[in-house]
Every structure is written in structure tokens, then in C-alpha cells.
Structure 1
């Protein structure tokens, strides 16, 4: 048996030697090198850019997470006084050098979860709001897509959490061209979305049916005509232009805009027999054009502390209050509800003269300012404020003289508004901001007439009592940018 095992082992060893010898005679084929394209840092457009492998396009992926908690003075038991907000932001910035300049594509997507005062006027509810905040292409001087309005001075550094009355970086669709003259000077002309700037202003007291369609006289027997402007279809974009300078000391900009106001009119109310009810409905007006102008300047103040600055923005608008900071939900003051704040919670582009039926443009002027001081590189404070004056067109309000509501002032109410606030923001590490802000708002109504509580109709009357409304609000913010 041992002899058999020895023969088998010997035979195997012999085969291995022969096979090894034959293999040694064969040519050796080396493995082909694996192509590795490492991600390269792109420094041409600032930090955090990298080259997309295999291209000359530089890409930056960033975003933000914001948690915010807010308190606002309530005016009755039905209103929320606190609110919670969580907001997530993702942005992608892609840039490619070309013979004609930089080709850029940018997307910013935001998702917001609001409750309480953030979801005004739907008290006790919560809402999600996914939003393509920005999406635009830039090629040389051309900009096309959804971007911050060119009426805004985008180089002004805003640190406030609340609302001040100036054009504070609204995003909207636009088509623009920027001319760069060198030496820090530039000029831009743009066609921007009219609907994004439209303030229709429909005081609820003048809405009859639940559908929101205007009907006959809200106050039966008083024959008070409608004063709300009902917008027709959009036929012309807003025209916006600016001249700008950016230097080592700061920046300055002069902006102007033209805004179309197109009236639909109101159909008359019909009786069951099809007859027109007297003093209801009106013909439409021809299109009018509002306008706005705004100078702004920011001055760096390094002699106080590194990073300190001051800015001021003034705006005058006729028929275009959106450009003065009265935009969308920012029309209202704090959490003032319709039954407390009346029609001034919606500052309309125009009103209808109740006696002539003509379109009357709303006049607004405002001034806003901010000073920011750095106590340390990681700790800064800002004080800020704004003043605004709003005057509605003639015939937009009247005082009832007969009946159970005699003495009530019905319609749009001229007013002045002042906002003053301050905040402190701590940034213990790069990209993290922890801030607390307090703001006070006061509204003074012109020629106020004491009124009564009319329940659902109270939206159409001026508030009773004193001639002012006061609101306190505070916010706590935790924000991480990356």
C-alpha cells in the first residue's frame, strides 16, 4: 500500500514540474491599467466647487436646514399666537467657462412645514409648501428663468428674520440682460412676471357668496358701490431696470419698474326674473400702468469692527405697492386678522372710485434701514426698522350716514406703519446660526371712525376704539447652511 501511495505522489510531482516548465515557456500578458478619473477641486468660482468628472463643468451642491419658532400678539381667542417652522433647502450650481463667458445653471428647491402663526389665517392648521424657489440659466449677460427680481439690490446684506417694507429679494420669473461696464458699474434691463407682483386687494366685507364672487350691495339699502379692483388677464410683463455700483466701500443701486393694472370689471346682480339690480356691477376700465423707483446703498464700516455695515433703502410706488414691500402674506401686520385690520391687510395696486367707477392707483412710499455690528467674529447684532405710508385712491371709502350702521367707515383705509426690531446671532461654528429676534409694529389709521363689531362684515369696517394697532412678535431661529 505504501508503494502505491509513493507512486501516485511521484507521478503528481512529475506532472507539476512538466506543467511549470511549459508555462514558463508561454509569454506573460500584463493586466491593462484601470482608468481612474479623480474628482478635482475647482477654484475658479469660489469654495466648494468641484469638476464633474470628464468635463470642464464646475459643480457645487449645497443647502440649508432652518428651524424657527415664532410668537405674535393675538387679537382674539380664535387666533394662534405661536407657530413652528421647519424648512429644508437644496441648491445646485453648475458653471462652465466658454468663449462667450460663463455658462451657469442654478436650481434652488425648498420645502417648508408651517404651523400656527406661520400658516395665517388658517388657525390651528399645518401645511407643507414645496417650492422651486429659483431655476435659471445665465450665459454671458443673459439671465432666463426664476430668479431674484432685478429691482432688488441683491448685494444688500439682510440679517432680519421679520418683514421690513422694501423689496426684500422676491423670486419670480424673468428674462434679463446685464451690461457690465467695468470699474464696478453695471446696468440691467428685465422683463419680469406681472402676476407675481399683482396685489388684487379684495376686502372680505365686499364679497357676498362663499365662492368669493362679488355680488350686490353688502349693506342693503345703502347703495354703496364696490371699491375692489378685480384683475383681468395678464397681457404685459413688468419692465424693470437698474444701475448698480459695487466697490470696496459698499454698493449702491437705483431701480425702476413699470407695472400693468388691468381691470376686469364686475358683472351686475340679476333678479330671479333676469333684470339688473340697480347700483350693482360696473364696466371695466382701460389698462393703467403703475410704477416704482428705489435708491439703495450699503456702506461698510470696518472702523467700528470688521464686518460692520449700514444700509438704507427708499421706495416710492404708484399703483405698484408690491415693490415697496407689501407683497403676498407680508401685506398683513403680524397676525392681525381681517376683523381687526380691515382692508389694509391687502394693499391693492388700485381701487375703484365708488362714485365715478374709475380706477384709482394706490400711492405708497417707504424707507427701511439696518445696522449690523460684529461683537466678535462669531457674534453679531442688528437693529433695523422701516416706515411706510399708504394712501388709497379717492372714492375708495365712505362713511355710512343712515341706517343701523350709520357712522361706519366702509372701504380701504389710508394708514402709516412703523416697524422697529433687533436681533443677535451667534455662529459658534462655520455654517451654524443661532439667533433671537424681537420686532414691534405700530399702524396708525387716518381719519378713523369708531365702529361696531359686525361679525362677518367686520372685514369691511375700520376697527373700533383707538386710532392705532400695536403688535409684538419674537422669533428664535436655528439654521445650518452647507
Structure 2
């Protein structure tokens, strides 16, 4: 019996040895390596390495639901409106020997109703509500390439925030009157250490949108003529922007200037003119961090002046709704019908904004703007009781309370008050288009409110 067991064990051992020797002669097959997604910490939270590359990617976005009510300017306009907006951000960065190479895209889809999409037709003259839809009428659903730029070291190329802007509607739901535009540009930024930097930028103002909430198109240069027709013959070069900025622990400050060339010409019925005009603007702003009050508290102060380029004050060219006052044609320049000389419109503005955290999850934001324009022409589309320029003066103030129960979620309400004065009492030509048929109105007050639920991710 013992002999049988020994024979069996020996046979098994021999077979195993032969099989192992044969297997050693066969080529080995290893499992393909798994490409795991790695976290990239070089550029902040949310970035990860694109598999197979040394580039870092961050995908983020926003969903916003908003509900607004406002005073009716016209019998043909809803007194409320709704908005749904979706935003997608794609941010790709790569470290190179020349500095960081960054590509950024922001795309938005928006659906508007009611006063968000208020019209400018003959049946709702002056229907736009300040802070809600101050630009041209927007359709029910709109798409917008808000940002699309490449940064390579000190160079920024593509569609980006204007380097003229400082306080760019950073707070509040409604936009106050301030420079806040995204334009096609080519810029160079030099850094000097200790938070100091300087930028020179070539910017195409005809490509831009104005206001994060306004959605209006920048239409400068816009020309106005009394008693005749006129055209803008384009520009020989884009606007030149220069800014000096400092960012330190106490806050930020910036001084910026813009200069551009405009070419105007007249058609019939007025003295002929064909020549260049220069437009310019200057702006200074400061942001002061106030951690002694609460973490995240800050104060913004800003002042600006523009000559021949009202878009740098946040006023978009074209037709502007004045409520019961009708509509006002805003232009960057006008032609004297007698001499044919070109007169630039001028204006200035003041902006203040404050953010305070009552608790880590509850905050209040207050912003205000005051601006005055000197237009130098009469708008013939209105019935004027005095033959003089309107020269509007506007005051806007907005205040809100926002609750952030979890990270990335904001639930808040806001109230916006607007007051507008014009130099001379005016009325519309056709009283049937407005709620009030009273002539001789010189000022307008409006009140609107919003509820916003927003998720950023």
C-alpha cells in the first residue's frame, strides 16, 4: 500500500514539473495598466489630470432659477417675469517653460419670459425695467458664448472681461450702472511683484455684451443727428486699454483708461462731415477687505468719466426705455446740423457696493450707482415741452438677503429702486402706448424685486 502511494505522489510531482517547465517556455501575458484619474492640486480645488497628459481640467457650471416682479411701464407688458439659465465652464491649464497655458470657455443658455424679455415695439414703448432688461429686447431662449480665451504667460487672447473694468457687477442680482463687458481682445499683462501688475489691451467694443444680467449689446459708437441722417464709418483700429492694478491682503485697487477712434459721416439734409473723432474714458476703483467686521466682508468704491464712449459707464448705445417718459436715443456723439461739427456726449458715474456676512451662511449685498450724462442734442422721437437736451441723471440702489444652507447653493431675495431725472419735461408722441397719458413728466421712479435660487458646482 505504501508502495502504491509513493508511486502516485511521484507521478504527480513529475507531471507538475514538466508542466511548469513548458509554461516557463511560453510568452507571459500581463494585464494592461489601468489609467487612474489623478487629482491636480496646482491650480486649486476641482482640477484633475486629463489621462495621458500633463494638463489639468476643471468642469464647473451653474443653474439659476429666477422670478421677478416690477412696476408696469406699459399696458402691453406683463408685470412679472421668469428666467431659467444654465452655464457650463471648461478650464484647462498646463504648466510650461513659459508660464501657465490656460484655455477657458463659458457658455450659457437662458430662457426668459415677461419683463426679462420686454420688447421695444410700438405697443410697449418704454417697457424695459431697470436692472432687469435694460438693453435691447431678448427673445424667449438665448444662447451666449460669454467667455472664450487663451492665456499663455502674460498674453490673453480671445473673448474675455474687459481690462478696463474693475467693479463688474460682482454683487447683487440686478446690474447697477457700471462698466461690465466681455469683448474680443488681445492683451499683455506684466507683473512686478508684491501684487502689482500692468496691462495693455486692444479691445473690439463692437463685439461685446454689457452687463451680467442686462444682456444688451454694446453699440458704441452710435451717432445722433438733428434733422438728417448719419452713419458711422467704422474704426481704423480697436480701442486701446491700459490699466495699473494692485492685489494684496488688504484688498485691490485699479486705475484704467481707454482711448479709441471713431469715424463719422453724414448723409442728407445736414452740413457734410467726414472725419475722425477720438473717444476716451478713465476709471479708478478700490476694494477694501473688512475681516474685522466678518470673514468675507468687503467694500467697493469706483468713479468713472467718459467722453464719446458712454459704454465705459455702463450705458449701451441705441434706444433706452424711460418708463412714462417714453424712449431716449442714446448716442456717443451728435452732429450739429448747421456747422456739421461733431460733439461727443460725455458723462460720469459713481459706484459703491458692500457685502456683509451676518453668519457664515447668511449675507447681505448692497450696491448703488449714480450717473449723469450730457448729450448735447434733442431727441426728435419724443414730444419735448422745452427745446433742450434731456441730459439724464440716474440713481440705482439694490439690496438683498441671501441664505446659503449648503455649499454652492444660494437662495435669496432682492429689491431694486431706480430714479431717473431728465433736464426738460417730456411726453411721448402717442399717449395710447403708455399707461399714463400725462404730458410734462420730468422724472420716473421704479421698484422691482427678485427671488433667486442658484446652484454653482
Q: TM-score range by the shorter chain?
A: 0.7 to 0.9
- The change in CA–CA distance for 1:282 and 1:34 in structure 2 (over 3 A counts) is same
Q: Which residue of 1 aligns with 2:89?
A: 91
The answer to whether the aligner puts 1:68 opposite 2:69 as a matched pair is no
Q: CA deviation at 1:201?
A: 4.9
Q: Which residue of 2 aligns with 1:192?
A: 203
**1:143·1:177 contact (CA, 8 Å) conserved in 2?**
yes
**1:166·1:314 contact (CA, 8 Å) conserved in 2?**
no
Q: Which residue of 1 aligns with 2:326?
A: 341
- The change in CA–CA distance for 1:348 and 1:358 in structure 2 (over 3 A counts) is same
**1:105·1:137 contact (CA, 8 Å) conserved in 2?**
yes
- The change in CA–CA distance for 1:82 and 1:397 in structure 2 (over 3 A counts) is closer
Q: Which residue of 2 aligns with 1:130?
A: 143
CA–CA distance in structure 2, aligned partners of residues 369 and 21 of structure 1: 87
Q: Which residue of 2 aligns with 1:10?
A: none
**2:160·2:182 contact (CA, 8 Å) conserved in 1?**
yes
**1:194·1:259 contact (CA, 8 Å) conserved in 2?**
no
- The change in CA–CA distance for 1:372 and 1:45 in structure 2 (over 3 A counts) is same
Q: Which residue of 2 aligns with 1:454?
A: 430
The answer to whether the aligner puts 1:427 opposite 2:404 as a matched pair is yes
Q: Which residue of 2 aligns with 1:27?
A: 23
> How does 1:320-359 map onto structure 2 within 5 Å?
320-327=309-316, 332=320, 336=322, 340-343=325-328, 346-359=329-342
Q: Which residue of 1 aligns with 2:249?
A: 248
Q: Which residue of 2 aligns with 1:7?
A: none
Q: CA deviation at 1:194?
A: 3.1
Q: CA deviation at 1:399?
A: 12
**2:372·2:392 contact (CA, 8 Å) conserved in 1?**
yes
Q: Which residue of 1 aligns with 2:391?
A: 414
Q: Which residue of 2 aligns with 1:388?
A: 371
CA–CA distance in structure 1, aligned partners of residues 330 and 192 of structure 2: 38
Number of matched pairs:
417
> How does 1:25-64 map onto structure 2 within 5 Å?
26-28=22-24, 29=26, 30-64=28-62
- The change in CA–CA distance for 1:110 and 1:411 in structure 2 (over 3 A counts) is farther
**1:225·1:354 contact (CA, 8 Å) conserved in 2?**
yes
Q: CA deviation at 1:231?
A: 1.9
CA–CA distance in structure 1, aligned partners of residues 380 and 428 of structure 2: 16
CA–CA distance in structure 1, aligned partners of residues 196 and 350 of structure 2: 24
- TM-score (norm. length: structure 1): 0.79
**1:108·1:135 contact (CA, 8 Å) conserved in 2?**
yes
Further displaced range: 130-139 or 179-188 = 130-139
Classify the secondary structure of the residue corresponding to 1:323.
helix
- The change in CA–CA distance for 1:281 and 1:247 in structure 2 (over 3 A counts) is same
Q: Which residue of 1 aligns with 2:283?
A: 294
Classify the secondary structure of the residue corresponding to 1:288.
strand
* Cα deviations by residue, 1:245-264 (Å, 9 ceiling, x for unpaired): 00101000001001222213
Q: Which one of the candidate residues 298, 312, 319 is aligned to 2:301?
A: 312
Q: CA deviation at 1:351?
A: 1.7
CA–CA distance in structure 2, aligned partners of residues 36 and 362 of structure 1: 65
Q: Which residue of 1 aligns with 2:214?
A: none
Q: Which residue of 1 aligns with 2:8?
A: none
Q: Which one of the candidate residues 99, 102, 105 is aligned to 1:107?
A: 105
* Cα deviations by residue, 1:284-322 (Å, 9 ceiling, x for unpaired): 431101110000000011111111111011110011110
The answer to whether the aligner puts 1:363 opposite 2:346 as a matched pair is yes
- TM-score (norm. length: structure 2): 0.83
The answer to whether the aligner puts 1:441 opposite 2:418 as a matched pair is yes
* Cα deviations by residue, 1:176-198 (Å, 9 ceiling, x for unpaired): 00000001100000000031354
* Cα deviations by residue, 1:18-70 (Å, 9 ceiling, x for unpaired): 99997566325543132112111110000000111111111111111111111
**1:340·1:463 contact (CA, 8 Å) conserved in 2?**
no
Q: CA deviation at 1:234?
A: 3.0
Q: Which one of the candidate residues 100, 117, 120 is aligned to 1:119?
A: 117
Q: Unpaired segments of 5 or more residues in structure 2?
A: 1-13, 125-136, 209-217
* Cα deviations by residue, 1:229-276 (Å, 9 ceiling, x for unpaired): 53222321000010000010100000100122221322x3xxxxxxxx
Q: Which residue of 2 aligns with 1:4?
A: none
- The change in CA–CA distance for 1:125 and 1:97 in structure 2 (over 3 A counts) is closer
Q: CA deviation at 1:357?
A: 2.6
* Cα deviations by residue, 1:345-389 (Å, 9 ceiling, x for unpaired): x43111222333321111110001011110011110012211000
Moved over 6 A (4+): 18-22
Q: CA deviation at 1:141?
A: 0.3
Q: CA deviation at 1:99?
A: 0.9
Q: Unpaired segments of 5 or more residues in structure 1?
A: 1-17, 207-223, 269-279
